[in-house]
Amino acid sequence: MKLKLFARKIQRSLSRLSARRHYNLNDSNEEVGEVVPDDVREGHFAVFAVKGAEMKRFTVELHYLSNPAFLRLLEEAKEEYGFTQTGALAVPCLPGELQKILEGRSTT
Protein backbone atom coordinates (compact mmCIF):
# COMPACT_ATOMS: atom_id res chain seq x y z
CA MET A 1 0.00 0.00 0.00
CA LYS A 2 2.82 2.41 0.89
CA LEU A 3 4.45 1.70 -2.46
CA LYS A 4 1.28 2.69 -4.34
CA LEU A 5 1.12 5.93 -2.36
CA PHE A 6 4.81 6.53 -3.13
CA ALA A 7 4.19 5.93 -6.85
CA ARG A 8 1.22 8.34 -6.83
CA LYS A 9 3.32 10.95 -5.03
CA ILE A 10 6.07 10.63 -7.66
CA GLN A 11 3.49 10.84 -10.45
CA ARG A 12 1.93 14.02 -9.01
CA SER A 13 5.27 15.71 -8.40
CA LEU A 14 6.52 14.82 -11.88
CA SER A 15 3.33 16.21 -13.41
CA ARG A 16 3.76 19.48 -11.53
CA LEU A 17 7.47 19.62 -12.35
CA SER A 18 6.87 19.27 -16.07
CA ALA A 19 4.56 22.29 -15.97
CA ARG A 20 6.87 24.54 -13.95
CA ARG A 21 9.08 27.16 -15.54
CA HIS A 22 11.75 29.55 -14.28
CA TYR A 23 10.93 33.24 -14.28
CA ASN A 24 13.10 36.32 -13.94
CA LEU A 25 13.09 37.93 -10.53
CA ASN A 26 12.20 41.34 -11.97
CA ASP A 27 8.47 40.44 -11.98
CA SER A 28 8.27 40.67 -15.76
CA ASN A 29 7.20 37.01 -15.89
CA GLU A 30 9.46 36.59 -18.89
CA GLU A 31 10.03 32.89 -19.35
CA VAL A 32 13.68 31.89 -19.04
CA GLY A 33 13.58 28.13 -19.64
CA GLU A 34 12.13 24.82 -18.61
CA VAL A 35 13.06 22.99 -15.43
CA VAL A 36 12.87 19.62 -17.17
CA PRO A 37 15.55 18.67 -19.75
CA ASP A 38 14.48 18.81 -23.39
CA ASP A 39 14.60 15.04 -23.87
CA VAL A 40 12.03 14.44 -21.08
CA ARG A 41 8.74 14.84 -22.90
CA GLU A 42 5.38 15.43 -21.26
CA GLY A 43 4.15 12.24 -19.63
CA HIS A 44 7.70 11.00 -19.02
CA PHE A 45 10.34 11.22 -16.28
CA ALA A 46 14.07 10.57 -16.07
CA VAL A 47 15.49 7.72 -14.01
CA PHE A 48 19.03 6.42 -13.53
CA ALA A 49 19.77 2.70 -13.37
CA VAL A 50 22.80 2.37 -11.08
CA LYS A 51 24.61 -0.80 -10.05
CA GLY A 52 28.27 -0.69 -9.07
CA ALA A 53 30.18 1.32 -11.65
CA GLU A 54 27.43 0.98 -14.28
CA MET A 55 25.01 3.87 -14.67
CA LYS A 56 22.64 4.84 -17.46
CA ARG A 57 19.90 7.46 -17.72
CA PHE A 58 16.50 6.49 -19.12
CA THR A 59 13.42 8.50 -20.03
CA VAL A 60 10.41 6.53 -18.79
CA GLU A 61 6.70 6.92 -19.52
CA LEU A 62 4.51 7.65 -16.48
CA HIS A 63 2.45 4.48 -16.97
CA TYR A 64 5.44 2.45 -15.74
CA LEU A 65 4.59 3.73 -12.25
CA SER A 66 1.93 1.00 -12.24
CA ASN A 67 4.17 -1.73 -13.73
CA PRO A 68 4.88 -4.44 -11.09
CA ALA A 69 8.51 -4.90 -12.16
CA PHE A 70 9.16 -1.14 -12.08
CA LEU A 71 7.37 -0.84 -8.73
CA ARG A 72 9.71 -3.54 -7.40
CA LEU A 73 12.66 -1.36 -8.44
CA LEU A 74 11.10 1.62 -6.66
CA GLU A 75 10.73 -0.50 -3.52
CA GLU A 76 14.41 -1.49 -3.76
CA ALA A 77 15.33 2.18 -4.23
CA LYS A 78 13.29 3.08 -1.14
CA GLU A 79 15.09 0.39 0.88
CA GLU A 80 18.54 1.41 -0.37
CA TYR A 81 18.22 5.20 -0.53
CA GLY A 82 15.15 5.93 1.60
CA PHE A 83 12.69 8.71 0.90
CA THR A 84 15.40 11.32 1.42
CA GLN A 85 16.95 10.64 -1.98
CA THR A 86 17.63 14.01 -3.59
CA GLY A 87 18.16 14.88 -7.21
CA ALA A 88 17.23 12.55 -10.03
CA LEU A 89 15.40 9.32 -9.32
CA ALA A 90 17.81 6.38 -9.19
CA VAL A 91 16.99 2.69 -9.02
CA PRO A 92 19.55 0.08 -7.88
CA CYS A 93 19.78 -2.21 -10.90
CA LEU A 94 21.93 -2.82 -13.94
CA PRO A 95 20.96 -0.69 -16.93
CA GLY A 96 20.17 -3.88 -18.85
CA GLU A 97 17.63 -4.92 -16.21
CA LEU A 98 15.73 -1.64 -16.51
CA GLN A 99 15.95 -1.86 -20.31
CA LYS A 100 14.28 -5.29 -20.17
CA ILE A 101 11.45 -3.92 -18.01
CA LEU A 102 10.92 -1.03 -20.41
CA GLU A 103 10.87 -3.42 -23.36
CA GLY A 104 8.33 -5.63 -21.58
CA ARG A 105 10.66 -8.60 -21.14
CA SER A 106 10.93 -10.63 -17.95
CA THR A 107 13.82 -9.85 -15.59
CA THR A 108 13.55 -13.07 -13.55
pLDDT at 78: 92
Which domain covers residue 40, as residue numbers?
2-102
How high is the mean pLDDT of the chain?
77
Q: Is residue 46 part of a domain?
A: yes
Q: Is residue 37 part of a domain?
A: yes
pLDDT confidence bin for 29, thresholds 50/70/90: very low
Q: Is residue 107 part of a domain?
A: no
Concatenated DSSP letters of the chain: -HHHHHHHHHHHHHHHHHH-EEE-TTSS--EEEESS-TTS-TTEEEEEEEETTEEEEEEEEGGGGG-HHHHHHHHHHHHHH-TT--SSEEESS-HHHHHHHHTT----
pLDDT at 93: 96
Give me the mean pLDDT over the 30-50 stretch: 76
Q: Is residue 62 part of a domain?
A: yes
Residue 11 in contact with residue 65, Cβ under 8 Å? yes
